Structure formats: structure tokens, C-alpha cells
Amino acid sequence: MIDQSRSMESRVGRKNQRYGSKGERLVAGVVPLSADKTRVLMIQSAGRGGWVLPKGGWETDEASASQAACREAWEEAGVICTVQRDLGMIPDMRPSNLLTATAPKASYHFFEVAVEREEEQWPEMHKRKRQWVPYAQAAASLASRPELLEALNRSSLRR
């Protein structure tokens, strides 16, 4: 059964994107942990195909970064989640040569979440796989994304 309050359409574009005081894109994300905190849910990156954490732009119609983060978890990973802990702000650590018009400087706000349900159908199911992995595998997958690795390391995932 699909929760009718959750759209099966992913948000696209940046017209409702929030920006910080230095012009950086505000991004909200989740570190989805298993109930026993031994595994984290990762998703396939739409662009590069590697494994990442669910995240995306915090939009102007969303009251909080945590609300945006949970929407992204739904769109990208097909999970219904509850915020357990605010992991704080993490600056973009990419070198300037990797910043582009389509991937501008960002400021990340991550939340540790408990996964209540994994749905069989979700908005981005046709372009992303998801998998539960232990810390070592997640950390290795995020080695080239220091801001995502930092979020993982701030979480209470068992190492």
C-alpha cells in the first residue's frame, strides 16, 4: 500500500532551492540506520553510480532541513523515516575544480534517522538501487565524498 500523502514524483530543478548567506546551496540529508545500528542504508548515485547517502536541496516550501531530509529519503531511497538526531552542518569539502554550475558549492545538514518502513515503490526506484551495509563498506564507498563520510562518522552507526 502506498501512502497517498507521499508523492511518487521527485522534485526537480532549483527554482525553490534555499541558499545560505555566502550563496551556497543548502542541502539536507540522512544517515538511515538499522534498528540495531549495525548497518546504514545507502543508495546508488544517480550520476556517478557509486554509493551515497540520501540527500538533496532544502526547498523554500519546507519548514525545516529535517523535513527536507526526510523527503529526500523518501524520493531517493523509498523509506519512511524518523529523525533521531541532528548531526549538524558540514561544509562542502570538494576542491574548487570539482565545483560546476550544476554542482555548486553546498552546505550540508545531516540527520541520523530510524527507518520505519521500506516501500516497494518509490519515486526514484528506476534510477537508484538501495542496500544496507556495515560501517566499513559504507566508509569505503564514501571515501571520495568527505562531507558524506563526515556525516556517517558523526552518526551512532556501530563501527
Q: Which domain holds residue 150?
A: 28-154
pTM value is: 0.89
- Is 6 a domain residue? no
| Residue 121, Ramachandran bin (φ over 0: left; ψ between -120 and 50: alpha; else beta) | beta
- Is 45 a domain residue? yes
- Is 13 a domain residue? no
Question: Which of the pair, 132 or 12, is modelled with greater confidence?
Answer: 132
| 54-76: pLDDT as tens digits | 999 999 999 999 999 999 999 99
CATH of the domain at 53: 3.90.79.10
- Is 98 a domain residue? yes
In the predicted structure, residue 40 carries a pLDDT above the cut 50: yes
- Is 103 a domain residue? yes
- Is 83 a domain residue? yes
Q: Total structural domains in the chain?
A: 1
- Is 18 a domain residue? no
**Which are the contacts of 45, defined by CB distance < 8 A and separation ≥ 6?**
51, 52, 128
Assigned C-alpha cell, 89: 552542518
| 85-127: pLDDT as tens digits | 999 999 998 777 777 776 668 999 999 999 999 999 999 999 9
